[in-house]
Structure 1
Amino acid sequence: MHVLRYLKGTPNKGLFYPSTNSFHLIAYSDADWGACQISCKSLTGYCIFLGQSLVSWKTKKQKTVAKSSAEAEYRAMSATTSELEWLAHLLQDFHLPLHLPVLLHCDNRAAQHIAENPVFHERTKHLNIDCHYTRDKLLEGFLQTVHVSSKEQLADLMTKPLSELQHNYLSSRLGL
């Protein structure tokens, strides 16, 4: 019902794609730990820009229950990394230049530390192998993580209920 009310109240909103020749992929990844009250599964959300244009976005419930907010964020980073690699291959298919490394913005320093630190330790031994995909892409130089404050985390729109002021601010940053 809230979504329908929002859509009815914002008929003039839409995506704007400026004319640009920037082929920098920039991503924002976020998770809402234990968002589902029934299953306790977290939500993954991301938004990806090509230059200043929003080209991909997603919200999806994670397949497994995360044991911490850092794990939920790390799983969201993995999903975002997969989409980034697909988009990079698409750009290559069109013979368009891709500027590396791709920037992945995350607001959870613990998740960034897990991604950047290849040392096996107690906190990460339970993570599935597929989650370490992000770590591999960091080591390859394809990806670079960037810390972003929660206030500037654009992917919060995909995962959390926000105040009207914050919602409007982040929506405008998406180009809506």
Structure 2
Amino acid sequence: MQAKFTALLVYVDDVILAGNSLHDIEETKQFLSNQFKLKDMGQLRYLLGIEVARSKQGIVLCQRKYALEVVENAGFLGAKPSRFPVEHNLTLTQGDGALLQHASQYRRLVGRLIYLTITRPDLVYVVHILSQFMDKPRQPHLDVAYKVLRYIKQTPGQGILLPSTGSLELKAFCDADWARCKDTRRSTTGYCIFLGNAPISWKTKKQGIVSRSSAEAEYRSMATTCCEITWLRSLLKDLNVGLTHAFKLFCDNQVAIHIASNPVFHERTKHIEIDCHVVREKVQRGLVKTVHVRTKEQPADLFTKPLSSKQFTTLLDKLGVINIHSNLRGPGVLRKETVCD
């Protein structure tokens, strides 16, 4: 018999109740009503700018209303839409172009875009790049931000699909772009983590130190992903989601995978010894299983580099990103089902 479980999420004066027993949820609501003055808003549809849509295929989270407000506030409702958020192989540096006279405009816009990445993994990489120039933004940086606005206008209802089917197993994809930053020559780490076929965590981050090879950069991204997955396992355990199988860690670098399974240190890996231990310990304990994935099928590429239009669209589908407002057959029925292999 499955144990009953109720979760309560509180943000200031907003409360969400979820669980596997409707009776227990009703009892919790009644208890809270006896203690506080509450207003029952019914089934969750909108919270903190995040819209929730349900169907037999699962739950879709998007920020359409907030996205349109961002575009409107910037005066881009009449601008020409763009199919992609960033040009292929675009590179920005601190010395590009002239300094902006009104830097607050840029900072305000990027801050709004950061909040939009909660349900928009397709924006994470470019917003991460733009946020690096908040101190002294320049005209080319603002031009890229404007292109992002035109892309948002094209896809305001884009969000993530949390499928109602699939096994409760964790799998992660990690990647790194070696020496991407022209100013510091630090590499970029990117990862995305799935629970079954549902994307639950993603990130783009510049590595703390310069990597001397692409394999080293990839291995550091593996270590970062392992730390995130360890925290997620602990969180899921608290939510009564038991994970018995080792999670699969997909990487497109064969050398990095070999380092993870090789118990012998040598001169070329001494300087990343700590990261080696982080990953290798979990591999030896059976918590992690490293798997090679072809670069063209690596969804984490979305978080490390600007891609071609074809590759961007292909990986976006693998990530489980859909536009609910353009994928409807009827009321409450999603037309498109996205599965990450």
Normalized against structure 2, the TM-score is what?
Answer: 0.50
Match of 1:94 among 239, 244, 255: 239
Question: Contact 2:166–2:197 (CA<8 Å) still a contact in 1?
Answer: no
**Which stretch of the first structure deviates more once superposed, 33-42 or 119-128?**
119-128
Cross-structure match for 1:33 = 178
Match of 1:111? 256
Aligned to 2:32: none
Unpaired stretches in structure 1, ≥5 consecutive residues: none
Of the structure 1 ranges 148-157 and 96-105, higher mean CA displacement relative to structure 2 is found in: 96-105
1:10 and 2:155 are equivalent in the alignment: yes
The whole-number CA distance in structure 2 between the counterparts of 1:21 and 1:114 is 31
1:67 paired with 2:67, answer: no
Q: Which position in structure 1 is the counterpart of 2:190?
A: 45
Query: Percent identity among equivalent residues?
Result: 55
CA contact (8 A) 2:222 2:279 kept: yes
Q: Distance between the aligned counterparts of 1:131 and 1:4, measured in 2? A: 40
Give 2:317's match in structure 1, choosing from 160, 163, 172. Answer: 172
What one-letter code is carried by the residue in structure 2 that aligns with 1:22?
S
* CA–CA separation in structure 2 for the residues paired with 1:132 and 1:34: 23
Partner of 1:55: 200
Displaced runs of 4+ in structure 1, greater than 6 A?
none
2:324 is the alignment partner of 1:157: no
How far is the alpha carbon of 1:5 from its aligned partner? 2.6
Q: Which moved further from structure 2: 124-133 or 101-110?
A: 124-133
Secondary structure of 2:290's aligned partner:
strand
* Equivalent residue number for residue 138 of structure 1: 283
- Aligned-pair distance for 1:21? 5.6
Whose Rg is larger?
2
Write the distance in 2 (CA, Å) between the matches of 1:98 and 1:21: 14
| 2:310 match: secondary structure | helix
The residue number in structure 2 matching 1:81 is: 226
Greater Cα shift, 109-118 or 53-62? 109-118
Q: How big is the shift at 1:6?
A: 2.1
Question: For each residue in 1:134-173, what CA deviation from the matched residue of structure 2 results, as whole angstroms up to 9, or x when unmatched?
Answer: 1111011000000000000010000011111110010011
**8 Å CA contact retained: 2:251, 2:257:** yes
- Which of 1 and 2 has higher RCO (CA within 8 Å, sep 6+)? 1
Q: CA deviation at 1:22?
A: 1.9
Answer yes or no: is the 8 Å Cα contact 1:41–1:65 preserved in 2: yes
For 1:119 and 1:6, how far apart are their aligned partners in 2? 48
Contact 2:260 2:276 in 1 (8 A): no
Report the secondary structure of 2:202's partner residue: strand
Conservation of the 8 A alpha-carbon contact between 1:33 and 1:66:
yes
Given that residues 176 and 221 in structure 2 are in contact (C-alpha distance below 8 angstroms), is that contact kept between their aligned partners in structure 1? yes
Deviation at 1:4, TM superposition (A): 2.5
Q: Select between 133-142 and 17-26 the one with higher mean Cα deviation.
A: 17-26
Aligned mate of 2:169, from 20, 24, 28:
24
Question: How many equivalent pairs are there?
Answer: 176
CA contact (8 A) 2:299 2:319 kept: yes
Could you tell me which runs of 5 or more consecutive residues in structure 2 were left unpaired when the two chains were aligned: 1-144, 322-341
